[in-house]
Amino acid sequence: MERKKPIILSGIQPSGQLCIANYIGAIKNWVDFQDDYDSIFLIVDMHALTVKQVPAELRKRCLSFLAQYIACGIDPQKSTIAIQSHIPQHAELTWVLNCITSLGELNRMTQFKDKSKKNESNINAGLFTYPILMAADILLYQADLVPVGADQKQHLELTRNLAQRFNHLYSDTFVVPEPYIPKFGARIMSLQDPTSKMSKSDKNENSLVALLDHPDVITKKIKRAVTDSGTEIRFDDKNPGISNLISLYSVLTKKSVSEVESHFEGKMYSALKIELAEVIVDTLKPIQQRYNEIMKDKNYLEGVLEAGAENAYYRARKTLSKVYRKIGFIAKK
């Protein structure tokens, strides 16, 4: 008998530009998961609304992210790729979960505090309830495993609490998901401030390598990467700049950190920067080529979205009708 594969679910907000940290920390791992898991990868446009968006750009970016997912190796024949707003059950389940979440729980979310500090002019209610929408994303599909960055661990903990709480209040309904936090990638830091994470929404473009950056731009950004004043190419927490470049080189070439260190023994920082830029350019070249091909075929992209939404809708509807029945709503005929 065929055993059902465990379900994996993850998502990225369509804001900023997908960058090498998203590739290493998320998308590359998703590609590896596809064969062994029933996989769902979302473009969470509803989450992106928590910061101000230019409508035409948001629309374009969602399509571009979809094409980048596929160009990186997410195969729509194997995985479900969908846009969050195409499946109304995300908003509907969010409401139900809102009503079993306490303000105290949301107040403890460190990302809310960080984001409100950065976004003082627009601290909207969506920013506050964002983790509940994320919980709905996960619980709707009965996900077993959720790959996320370390910064999302607290949101995953809330999701688990909400699942357990609902199951306890109304009987078993949701799978309680496990987080999957990759060892690498959580560690890719900004090229301009190596003490903070490389972020796809960083206003300073020099701090990130975008997946769609031109090779000349990549070389320039790596050359300008902030390093400390040392001379030795050694991984050391005291020298976060050079350590970050070593990490990048190490993941992309699949060499261990000590192999990288001996490879660059006696060489100057500039040698690492030159080689690293080449490695990144070589990694991204086939992705960019595929991206350009896919973007030409809008019918194909629309077909992927339609199939993804249909599959996701079917599954989400099943969970939501169970939830509605359990909480005492009358089924609509």
- The residues annotated as belonging to the active site are 115, 197, 200
Instruction: Provide the token pair at 317.
Output: 């509807």
Instruction: Provide the token pair at 283.
Output: 């990694």
φ, ψ (nearest 5 deg) of residue 287: -65, -45
**Stretch of 61-69, 146-154, 294-302, 314-322 lying at the interface with ligand TRP (CB under 6 A):** 146-154
DSSP annotation of 27: I
Q: 3-state DSSP call for residue 187? A: coil
Considering the rule CB under 6 A, would residue 142 count as an interface residue with ligand TRP? no
Angle separating helix axes 110-118 and 153-170, nearest 10 degrees? 130
CB 47, min distance to ligand TRP, A: 5
CB 149, min distance to ligand TRP, A: 6
Considering the rule CB under 6 A, would residue 319 count as an interface residue with ligand TRP? no
Residue 133 vs 277, nearer CB to ligand TRP: 133
Considering the rule CB under 6 A, would residue 315 count as an interface residue with ligand TRP? no
Angle separating helix axes 110-118 and 125-140, nearest 10 degrees? 140
Contact 246, 261 (CB under 8 A): yes
Among the listed residues 152, 190, 244, 319, the single contact to ligand TRP using CB under 6 A: 152
In one letter, which amino acid is 42?
L
Q: 3-state DSSP call for residue 250? A: helix
Considering the rule CB under 6 A, would residue 138 count as an interface residue with ligand TRP? yes
Considering the rule CB under 6 A, would residue 79 count as an interface residue with ligand TRP? no
Instruction: Provide the token pair at 218.
Output: 């990549």
Which residue is at the shortest CB distance from ligand TRP?
11
Among the listed residues 7, 8, 13, 38, the single contact to ligand TRP using CB under 6 A: 13
CB 245, min distance to ligand TRP, A: 24
Among the listed residues 11, 14, 185, 241, the single contact to ligand TRP using CB under 6 A: 11
φ, ψ (nearest 5 deg) of residue 248: -60, -50
Instruction: Provide the token pair at 288.
Output: 């960019």
Considering the rule CB under 6 A, would residue 160 count as an interface residue with ligand TRP? no
Closest among 123, 174, 182 to 151, alpha carbons compared: 182
Closest among 255, 244, 251 to 221, alpha carbons compared: 244
Residue 152 vs 244, nearer CB to ligand TRP: 152
The footprint of ligand TRP on this chain (CB under 6 A) covers a number of residues equal to 13
**Length of the chain (residues):** 333
Considering the rule CB under 6 A, would residue 66 count as an interface residue with ligand TRP? no
Considering the rule CB under 6 A, would residue 137 count as an interface residue with ligand TRP? yes
Pairing of β 145-147 and β 80-83? unpaired
CB 64, min distance to ligand TRP, A: 17
d(CA 264, CA 275): 10
Residue 44 vs 63, nearer CB to ligand TRP: 44
CB 1, min distance to ligand TRP, A: 30
Among the listed residues 24, 31, 44, 210, the single contact to ligand TRP using CB under 6 A: 44
Contact 61, 295 (CB under 8 A): no
Considering the rule CB under 6 A, would residue 10 count as an interface residue with ligand TRP? yes
Q: Cα 91 to chain center, whole Å?
A: 20
Considering the rule CB under 6 A, would residue 93 count as an interface residue with ligand TRP? no
Considering the rule CB under 6 A, would residue 145 count as an interface residue with ligand TRP? no
Q: Cα 278 to chain center, whole Å?
A: 25
Residues that bind ligand TRP in the complex, under the rule CB under 6 A: 9-11, 13, 44, 47, 134, 137-138, 146, 148-149, 152
